[in-house]
A and B are shown apart, each in its own frame.
Chain A
Amino acid sequence: MKASRIAVLITVFLIVFGVRLFLAFQTPEFNYDSYQELRQVEHIKETGRHISHDPLSYGGKDVGGSPFYSYILAAGTIFMPLDITLKVLPNAFISLLAVIIFFITLKITRKREVALFTAIISGFVPIIYETTLYNLSSLCLVIPLIFFCLHFFMSIKTSLPWFLVCFLALTVISPLAFVLILSLIFYLALAKSEGLRMSRSELEVVLFTTFFGLWLQFLIHKNTLLFHGSSVIWKNIPADMIGRFFSDLTVVESLVSIGVIPFVFGVYIIYRYIFKEKDRAMHLFAALAITLGLLLWMKLILLSTGLSILGIVLVILLGKFLQLFINYVQKTKVARYKNLFLGVIFTVFFITSIVPSVTIAQKQLVEDIPGQDEILALKWVESNSPEGTMVAELEEGYLVMAVAHRNTIINPDFLLTDNVAERISDVEEIFTGPHKTDALSLLQKYNASYIYMSPKTMEKYDIIGLPYADQCFPTVYDKGVKIYKVACRLEEGEG
């Protein structure tokens, strides 16, 4: 590789990484969902082992899922302090997308300018900012790994070992390896139906990845699969909440989440290469886009996750569109305005992708990141109250466990748990129910001794405090966040 190309690539990576880091360091905190990962990393750092049985979650339960990503983040803490590592590493991983998108697009289009343009675009897909900027989710590493695998798959004869390494890493980190497996199977079917000559090496690799990926997932998630069966796909989310995570895919939402330019031109390229032209590489990415579309439509993948991967696929397909567009314009009388057209496309991209990405980051800072008042309140709980169970809203469960180190009745990890819907309804009853005796009965059921009420909880239930608060529920902390102590017990009468 030429030195100039390396320099350009490093520059692109640094631009994307720099912007992300600047936004990420606007707050020292993470979003509510990240605090479980934070606990895992802290635990690995302290003990060298991950939490496999969590005594603070649901009164004590096994933790499902793969811990490998937590180990990778914990390994980073050898070189940097924990808070810096957790900001830098995930953002560095996801910024690698720009590098791999550059190589993929270069392979597809053979045009360096186009590859560079799409590499920059891939660093500013709004939905990726939403799912990864303040989040310690493994998506930060999984999404680049999927595209590394696809890059090596495109030249499988020479890149088999690299493909195997990336696929192994992807499979041990996340069940999203299934998305790649399904899309490769779909690609073979598509190629066969289009009459493209089937490459034997591709067929062999798809066969292997299918069986190996499946086997490894069964090994890693054995307990979870045996506990929930096939419903593990929906993460044991209660039926009335499932729509929040696996909601319907709409065109408007896709346009906003992915960006207008990649969405419109990417969809056009899928249409063109499915119905009009034959190209192996285009079929590969079209197969991934269609697989994701189907998974989203059938609600088999989280909406945010599906849209994040789909967004990057459409960016790659946009690269193909730009190549075709430049080739076409150069053959016409308006060839001299080529740069003007590209400028218009970039302006529209700036308005519909970069601006929304920054806006999303600002919005998340306000809505999804716990405020300092919440952190201070939970630290107060940790130092001023005995260990026990604390009632907190579902989304705040991880935060309570990570900062206050208190047991929670509910948190967003529904796997390997019974009666989730009942627990959610009980917590809601504690916050909103009018009767003190009902609340006391429920608090005794879970042996809870404190109630944590954040401004977010008050806003959610439209309350300013516990409706039945009296001397049985003294307010022990009231600085924006309210913390109530449970001071009474119900006594059973003889029946």
Chain B
Amino acid sequence: MNRKEILMVISILAIVLLLALIPVLARGIVSEGLLIGPEPYEAINGTGTAFSWMLGIIKSVLGLKAALTAAKAIPIASIILGGFMLFLILRLERSRIVSLLALTFFISSSAAISAMLRFGDYATHFLLASLGILIFTRKRAWPFSVIPLIIMCRSSPAFGLAILVGIFIFSAKRYLVRSLAVCLVSGLVGISVQGLVTVPGQKLLIADFGAITGVSIFTLLAAFGGMFVIWNRRTTMAGYYLFLAAVAAGFWLWPSEYALLLAAISSIFAAFAVERLLVMKWQFNLIKHLTLLTIACGVLFSLLVTLDTLTVSQPDSLMVQSWLSLSRMPKGNVLSLEEYGPWIRSFSGQEHSIQTSDAYEIFYAVELKKAKTVLAENNISYIWINDEMKNGRIWHQPEEGLLFLLRNNETFNKVYQHAGIEIWEVANLSLS
């Protein structure tokens, strides 16, 4: 790499880093720098993924505050480093401009930004995969590629499978023995069959339609163009098409795990298309510049939509304040929305354990006796309610279901009320 190229890569990564920091800084003002979404809190409390292992170690050695800081820093560093490695991998064979464009498309995709700010697991998986592939392409160091690949496969079998398939597709022609050895070792050690059995989820693909793990529709459109552009070279580029097919199939089954990979492979195809637009001879120069400007604006628009969505994501400081208040109360089980569970566990140290069907039975109960029975069966000590739940998420009327029953002050005591958030203590569950 020459100096100019290094400078360009650093500039791209620095711009994206700055953009990625916008929601972090904005949340620093509006939500006191709280992490976005339930996933980072699940990672701090959970086990099983590379990210949660790292956070678990930091939490046990340096405490919760350090783990929360690490949960912010590690994903950003992982995507930046992973993106740089993707550039180096592409740089081995492809033109500089394609590598740079692919890096730009990928790193500005909604999936990459979300991985940096919210889905730390996916960010570390991506880093491990990029590291594994980069080492694999080295002359002597290639056997060491199994280390990051095994960690990645243990961490996410679905993601690992795609990477191994990708390595095999791309390199079987040139390094049959090497790719077989790495794929078999990493696959056998890393992936357990049970790990692959995941419930298929339905997620949106396009960031502009509100998907925070998706890809810009402009990148997707350009990627479609890229498929046509390199079709003449299909014999040498077959690996890209096959890998895209594998990732698309994986995305269908495991959308969250594969969103980042789909963003990466779409970015590569999009890069080929934009490279063609740059080098082809245009009849109307004005149209050329307007087209390229529109693509850039489109990608930027999707990025801003994602940043905006992430900035205002839950939890906010008012919610955390209520949970910290809950942490000072005697230990017990908290009834609330299922998605609030990781936050309640992290911030209040209280339990959040109830079947969804039981929770809804309580929410919509019209008889106090029946509500008491289900509350007792689930050993519920506190009920946490906010405006979102009262304004359509659970209830549509001010005195619907449990909201009406809460007026019974023999059974429920209001122990916290601030800014639309209420915590009710379940005081008496006797049925007499």
Contact = CB atoms under 8 A, between A and B. Distances in A.
A488 interface: no
Interface stretch (B7-15, B279-287, B413-421): B279-287
Contacts of A384: none
Interface string A173-215: 0000000000000000000000000001100110110111011
A4 to B, nearest CB: 36
Contacts of A492: 399, 404
Given A211-B218, A225-B208, A445-B397, A495 B284 contact: no
A208 B218 contact: no
Which interface residue of B211, B301, B408 has the most chain A CB atoms within 10 A? B301
Given A208-B291, A211-B295, A230-B209, A200 B283 contact: yes
A403 to B, nearest CB: 29
Given A419-B392, A419-B396, A495-B405, A211 B294 contact: yes
Contacts of A200: 281-283
Contacts of B366: 495
A207 B291 contact: yes
Contact of A201 (B211, B283, B408): B283
B282 A215 contact: no
A495 B404 contact: yes
Given A419-B396, A495-B404, A218 B290 contact: no
B206 A230 contact: yes
* B interface bracket (residues with beta carbon within 8 Å of A): 35 or more
B297 interface: yes
Interface in B354-370: 366-368
Contacts of B396: 419, 445
Nearest to B222: A211
Nearest to B304: A222
A211 B300 CA distance: 13
A495 B291 contact: no
Interface string B277-320: 10001111001101100110110010001000100000000000
Contacts of A157: 283
Contacts of B368: 495
Contacts of A205: 284, 287
Contact of A214 (B217, B290, B404): B217
Nearest to B282: A204
A235 to B, nearest CB: 15
B259 to A, nearest CB: 15
Given A492-B399, A495-B405, A226 B210 contact: yes
Interface string B393-423: 0001101000011001000000000000000
A264 interface: no
Given A211-B295, A215-B297, A229-B209, A222 B305 contact: yes
Interface string B64-105: 000000000000000000000000000000000000000000
Nearest to A218: B208
B284 A160 contact: yes
Contacts of A211: 218, 221, 291, 294-295, 298
Contacts of A419: 392, 396
A227 B309 CA distance: 12
Contacts of A294: none
Contacts of A222: 305
Which interface residue of B209, B277, B281, B392 has the most chain A CB atoms within 10 A? B209
Nearest to B208: A218
Interface of A: 157, 160, 200-201, 204-205, 207-208, 210-212, 214-215, 218-219, 222, 225-227, 229-230, 418-419, 445, 492, 495
24 contacts: A157-B283, A160-B287, A200-B281, A200-B283, A204-B282, A204-B288, A205-B287, A207-B277, A207-B291, A208-B287, A208-B294, A210-B221, A211-B218, A211-B221, A214-B217, A218-B298, A219-B301, A222-B305, A229-B204, A230-B204, A230-B209, A419-B396, A492-B399, A495-B368
Given A204-B291, A218-B301, 13 more contacts: A204-B283, A204-B284, A204-B287, A208-B294, A211-B291, A211-B295, A215-B301, A226-B305, A229-B211, A230-B206, A419-B396, A445-B396, A492-B404
Q: Which 9 A-B pairs have the closest CB atoms?
A: A229-B209, A211-B294, A226-B210, A208-B291, A215-B298, A201-B283, A212-B294, A204-B287, A208-B287
